[in-house]
Structure 1
Amino acid sequence: MTQVEICDQHVWAALGIVSRDGSVSRVWECEDCPVWTTEPFDPEYERDWDDTWLAGR
């Protein structure tokens, strides 16, 4: 097995969204190495779909 190089400072890019155990998180991936992480969304800022302008489209 080859050893993978890990960055000293990561260059983060948003990769997508995941729902785990009832909570929604944004997935971040480093552009220069295989490291990734998730950032939970703050439920305080969640808006009901019907309260957005997108609902009327």
Structure 2
Amino acid sequence: MSEEDICERHAWTSVGVVTRDGGVCRIWECENCPVWTAQPFDAEHERSWDETWLAER
């Protein structure tokens, strides 16, 4: 990838969630170039599945 393939201002879009190095990450891709990044989720904000209304379905 050359420098001219990378845009100056990225337009980020979330494309999914993965496990990485034992943690959960949201994957973001730039809509204008091939750059992407992984944003780790903060474990302090995790809520147990049983504590959500989704578990009742």
State the TM-score, normalized to the length of structure 1. 0.91
Counterpart-to-counterpart distance in 2, 1:40 and 1:25: 4
Runs ≥4 residues deviating over 4 A: none
Alignment of 1:29 with 2:29, yes or no, is: yes
Counterpart-to-counterpart distance in 1, 2:11 and 2:37: 12
SS of aligned partner of 2:32: coil
Counterpart-to-counterpart distance in 1, 2:20 and 2:35: 19
Q: Percent identity?
A: 59
**Unaligned runs of at least 5 residues, structure 1:** none
**Unaligned runs of at least 5 residues, structure 2:** none
Which protein is richer in helix relative to its size?
Answer: 2
The total of aligned residue pairs comes to: 56
Give a deviation string over 1:9-32, Cα, whole Å, max 9, x none: 100000000101210000000000
